[in-house]
Amino acid sequence: MRIAIDAMGGDEAPKEIIAGALESIEKLADDDKIILVGPEDQITPLLPSKIIEKGKVSVVHAPDVIGMADSPVDSLRKKPKSSIAILAKLGKKDEADAVISAGNTGACVAAFQMRMRNLPGVVRPGITVVFPTPGGPVTICDVGANIACKPIHLYQYGVMASIYSKNLLNINNPRVGIMSIGEEDAKGNENVKKTRDMIKADKKMNFIGNVEGRDIFKGICDVIICEGFVGNVMLKLTEGLVDGLFRAIKHELMEEKISLALKFKPVMMRIYQKYDYNEYGGALLLGIDGTAIICHGASKSKTIKNAIMASKRYYSEKINDKIVEYFADSPFANSVQNDKTQELDSNE
Amino acid sequence: MRIAIDAMGGDEAPKEIIAGALESIEKLADDDKIILVGPEDQITPLLPSKIIEKGKVSVVHAPDVIGMADSPVDSLRKKPKSSIAILAKLGKKDEADAVISAGNTGACVAAFQMRMRNLPGVVRPGITVVFPTPGGPVTICDVGANIACKPIHLYQYGVMASIYSKNLLNINNPRVGIMSIGEEDAKGNENVKKTRDMIKADKKMNFIGNVEGRDIFKGICDVIICEGFVGNVMLKLTEGLVDGLFRAIKHELMEEKISLALKFKPVMMRIYQKYDYNEYGGALLLGIDGTAIICHGASKSKTIKNAIMASKRYYSEKINDKIVEYFADSPFANSVQNDKTQELDSNE
């Protein structure tokens, strides 16, 4: 398997990205290869010569870098030789089986969608993350690829995230909920209501109806469908709140007694490890014709290593084939075809 | 001041509601009066006769109750003698200076808006909560009154929440952010972008631009504007996550050593107290021509007592006058008038 990585993506690039790639090597199979994408003069000096000789790691030159704050579509247009643009080309030209970046999320989504295209039957790809919770892992789609969701997109997010949850997290018949602002059927905005009607027409999905923000951590569902805007706020709110709460606890413990704070430290570390989303190695862009993982901008080497291992699992379980098969047989296969044509027209 | 309370609203009604009302009495001024709304035969037996004789507390009979799961508009139509409907009438008929309910949020919003109407210049009221954070209290509007937000609504939420933050939380020149999915100006959906343009035309607001979910707890802003759907998910996610995290910590501590868990308990209690949103006594429906507070469905007597005290502060600081004054002078006063007419047309 050939795994291409944006060496320049993220706050700690290229150092942590390359370190993560190197850390993964011993876990890879003999015929796996890593392709690092970015400016050769910045990447090659960081690679041990032994590694290059063995042919495990190669470099594909990309002189430009898209910054975290750059406008996604504009910067892709202005920087066709950026590491993200070249990465997407490798995925498209079938020179890589998986692409990974911790760079500008919007630019990644746009580049992967534009170059690699969607899987047959998929209207819009969605970013999918796994929340580790006391009730088990909860798969959430979309968390920021699509800020203009239609019911067909949301329905498809439910299908794709279910296939992911079943095949990669080994959850049999995953319970699917849709994020809304009330548990009852009558509640939610128009998008939620229309999506619910679509899902109910698909007897294969184990749909439990509306869920609310507080339900994520209650173990009542395995998959949550949500609009990209809402999902992104949820993801970042969770990150900020966990961080803020641990800081508040630390502060209070220090005021109480330093010895108590020291005793609490290993407990905190254990909770961090148990619920560390870095374990899942980033977010999959589900629905793309390929394997695409987008990592957190603050990714350290460990996240990159985990993302590489996650891409291997995703690829080898042939999740994409299962998605295509499902949609070919979906009650909305025809309407999707029409909708997709419109989507492409309006995108281009 | 006359404060009317829905005695039947919430999971613990009428017991906790009435207890909260009674607990507030000693903190009220001589000319303050409490009006309990609900079925007389259920309320009167719970009131000490001394209290009734003193005239501090009276009961207004409302035989029906709207359940937490009932459809808001339908149930208001079918139950004109429900405690929420009668409560809203008291507010409208100027028989109460404040109305408080821990009942069905949707029904409260609909009833208050329909009966009490909006303040002059306000297009849509928004539910406003205060998040206690390590960086200080953050006022968020809207958290669920309005699931079809327009830019003018969002702009007005920013204004009203700023006035609240300044006058009730004593924050001088509150920093206002709008919830989006990226910090940069170019990011966000159409609603966010258009709202940003409106706000920038209003030189009086201390606008800091986009904020993300993680920023709520960082102390970078005092007011956050968001769409009702997003705000509601944020509010409930926060509630569920804090609860889940404390349970996870407790579980880990028990595994480590019970004595450590016992030592940690007072620290946890202190954090709970410090960041307890019950202290703020519920959420204000800002923009209504009156003082309306909606409490959490799980409210205990303490929350109701705090809501009563909060309604007194809101009323005596004449926040509504300040809102009306601001909008009369707003750069969008004329367009608001047009938009408002449309709103009313489409609502009725």
pLDDT at B31 over 70: yes
Predicted pLDDT of residue A338: 56
- Asked if B244 and A69 come within 8 Å (Cβ–Cβ), the reply is no
- Asked if A189 and B216 come within 8 Å (Cβ–Cβ), the reply is no
Q: CATH topology of B1-117+288-317 equal to that of B126-277? A: yes
Please give the average per-residue pLDDT across B55-70, as a whole number.
93
Taking CA–CA distances from A105, the nearest residue in chain B reads: B182
d(CA A120, CA B174): 50
* Residues in Cβ contact with B140 at an 8 Å cutoff, skipping those fewer than 6 apart: B128, B129, B130, B131, B161, B216, B223, B224, B226, B231, B234, B235
Contact of B281 with chain A, judged by CB distance below 8 Å, is answered with no
Query: How close B271 gets to chain A, by Cα (Å)?
Result: 7
- Asked if B69 and A275 come within 8 Å (Cβ–Cβ), the reply is no
d(CA A80, CA A67): 14
- Asked if A230 and B233 come within 8 Å (Cβ–Cβ), the reply is yes
Other Cβ atoms within 10 Å of A320 Cβ, number:
21
Best A133, A229, A243 residue to mutate vs chain B (most B CBs within 10 Å): A229
Contacts of A148 in chain B (CB under 8 A): 189
Q: Which residue has the higher pLDDT, A322 or B259?
A: A322
Predicted pLDDT of residue B271: 80
Contact of B78 with chain A, judged by CB distance below 8 Å, is answered with no
- Asked if B134 and A232 come within 8 Å (Cβ–Cβ), the reply is no
Mean pLDDT across chain B: 91
pLDDT at B210 over 70: yes
CA-CA distances (angstroms) from residue A27 to A21, A33, B69? 11, 12, 52
Other Cβ atoms within 10 Å of A193 Cβ, number:
16
Predicted pLDDT of residue A224: 98
Predicted pLDDT of residue A88: 97
Contacts of B182 in chain A (CB under 8 A): 106
Band of pLDDT at residue B346, cut at 50, 70 and 90 = very low
Q: Which residue has the tokens 């202290």?
A: B279
The per-residue pLDDT for range A77-126, each reduced to its tens digit, is 999 999 999 999 999 988 999 999 999 999 999 999 999 999 999 999 99
Contact of A259 with chain B, judged by CB distance below 8 Å, is answered with no
**CATH label, A126-281+319-348, candidates 3.10.20.440, 3.30.70.3270, 3.40.718.10, 3.40.50.150:** 3.40.718.10
The per-residue pLDDT for range A220-273, each reduced to its tens digit, is 999 999 999 999 999 999 999 988 888 888 888 887 778 878 888 888 888 877
Predicted pLDDT of residue B290: 96
Q: Which of B24-38, B289-303, B322-336 has the lowest mean pLDDT?
A: B322-336
Strand A136-141 relative to strand A126-133, pairing: antiparallel
Best B187, B220, B254, B267 residue to mutate vs chain A (most A CBs within 10 Å): B267
d(CA B346, CA B348): 6
Largest CA distance in chain A: 66
Taking CA–CA distances from B232, the nearest residue in chain A reads: A181
Q: What dihedral do alpha carbons B305, B310, B315, B320 form, nearest 10°? A: -140
Band of pLDDT at residue B337, cut at 50, 70 and 90 = low
Predicted pLDDT of residue A346: 41
Q: In what order do the strands lie in the sheet with B223-225?
A: B57-61, B33-38, B2-6, B98-101, B291-294, B283-286, B126-133, B136-141, B223-225, B176-179, B207-211
Q: In what order do the strands lie in the sheet with A126-133?
A: A57-61, A33-38, A2-6, A98-101, A291-294, A283-286, A126-133, A136-141, A223-225, A176-179, A207-211
pLDDT at B343 over 90: no
* Residues in Cβ contact with B255 at an 8 Å cutoff, skipping those fewer than 6 apart: none
d(CA B121, CA B286): 12
Contact of B254 with chain A, judged by CB distance below 8 Å, is answered with no
Note the ipTM here. Answer: 0.91
pTM above 0.90, yes or no: yes
Please give the average per-residue pLDDT across B193-204, as a whole number.
93
Predicted pLDDT of residue A96: 97
The two tokens of residue A17 are 């990205």
Predicted pLDDT of residue B338: 56
- Asked if B229 and A230 come within 8 Å (Cβ–Cβ), the reply is yes
By CB atoms closer than 10 A (0-12, 13-18, 19+), residue B73 is middle
Band of pLDDT at residue B267, cut at 50, 70 and 90 = confident
By CB atoms closer than 10 A (0-12, 13-18, 19+), residue B107 is buried
Predicted pLDDT of residue A337: 62
Spell out the CATH class of B126-277.
alpha beta
Contact of A189 with chain B, judged by CB distance below 8 Å, is answered with yes
Looking at CATH, the fold of the domain delimited by B1-117+288-317 is given as Isopropylmalate Dehydrogenase (3.40.718)
Query: How close B175 gets to chain A, by Cα (Å)?
Result: 19
The two tokens of residue A253 are 């413990």
Where do the structural domains in chain B lie, given as residue ranges?
Answer: 1-117+288-317, 126-277
The per-residue pLDDT for range B119-167, each reduced to its tens digit, is 999 999 999 999 988 889 999 999 999 999 999 999 999 999 999 999 9
pLDDT at A348 over 80: no
Per DSSP, what are the bridge partners of residue A85?
Answer: none
d(CA A115, CA A288): 10
Mean pLDDT across chain A: 91
Q: What is the DSSP string of B99-125?
A: EEE-S-HHHHHHHHHHHH-BPTT-SS-
Interior CA angle at B28 toward B27 and B33, to 5°?
A: 145
- Asked if A233 and B230 come within 8 Å (Cβ–Cβ), the reply is yes
Contact of A136 with chain B, judged by CB distance below 8 Å, is answered with no
CA-CA distances (angstroms) from residue B18 to B30, B127, B338? 19, 24, 43
- Asked if B134 and A251 come within 8 Å (Cβ–Cβ), the reply is yes
Please give the average per-residue pLDDT across B215-219, as a whole number.
93
Predicted pLDDT of residue A144: 94
> Which of B71, B228, B264 is facing A186, going by the closest CB pair?
B71
The per-residue pLDDT for range A26-75, each reduced to its tens digit, is 999 999 999 999 999 999 999 998 887 788 999 999 999 999 888 888 99
Strand B223-225 relative to strand B33-38, pairing: unpaired
Query: How close A1 gets to chain B, by Cα (Å)?
Result: 34
Band of pLDDT at residue A340, cut at 50, 70 and 90 = low
Q: What percentage of chain A reaches a pLDDT higher than 70?
A: 95
Predicted pLDDT of residue B344: 45
> Which of B215, B217, B237 is facing A214, going by the closest CB pair?
B237
Q: How far is CA B10 from the centre of its chain?
A: 15
